[in-house]
Amino acid sequence: DTEVTQTPKHLVMGMTNKKSLKCEQHMGHRAMYWYKQKAKKPPELMFVYSYEKLSINESVPSRFSPECPNSSLLNLHLHALQPEDSALYLCASSQGLAVRAGELFFGEGSRLTVL
């Protein structure tokens, strides 16, 4: 079974749409992350939800908004996106404990295309 589940796997949306990406982790981890990855580039950190505290990469535009209903779920709400937002969106979780915080377990990703 996949420990970190992302839905949908593929999403095509127009610039005026509102959609959401969902992520659920089944590992009992206390930290969850959203990363954005463009082709042939490394993942870029967007948001971290760790021990009930949300940290935001200040370079992320407000058309992306995270929501954490509980410690196992981290959603990413999308509104008024631009074509340059088309990318692979990766959700990850970790124990969030000190030196091991960087041991990330990734979901399979959600491939987003903005038309």
Judged by CB under 8 A, the stretch of 20-28, 60-68, 69-77, 107-115 that binds other proteins is 107-115
Whole-angstrom CA distances from 59 to 26, 47, 63, 64 are 29, 11, 12, 11
Q: How far is the CB of 13 from other proteins (least distance, A)?
A: 21
Task: Give every CB contact of residue 1 below 8 A, 6+ residues apart in sequence.
Answer: 26
Q: How far is the CB of 39 from other proteins (least distance, A)?
A: 10
Nearer to other proteins, 80 or 88 (CB): 88
Residues 32-71 that bind other proteins (CB under 8 A): 33, 41-45, 48, 50, 55
CA–CA separation, 110 and 50 (whole Å): 21
CA–CA separation, 45 and 36 (whole Å): 7
**What type of residue is 71?**
S
Nearer to other proteins, 83 or 102 (CB): 102
Find the binder of other proteins among 29, 109, 112, 114 (CB under 8 A). Answer: 109
Whole-angstrom CA distances from 11 to 7, 70, 96, 110, 111 are 9, 24, 29, 7, 6
Nearer to other proteins, 22 or 79 (CB): 22
| Site of interaction with other proteins (CB under 8 A) | 31, 33, 41-45, 48, 50, 55, 88, 90, 96, 98-109
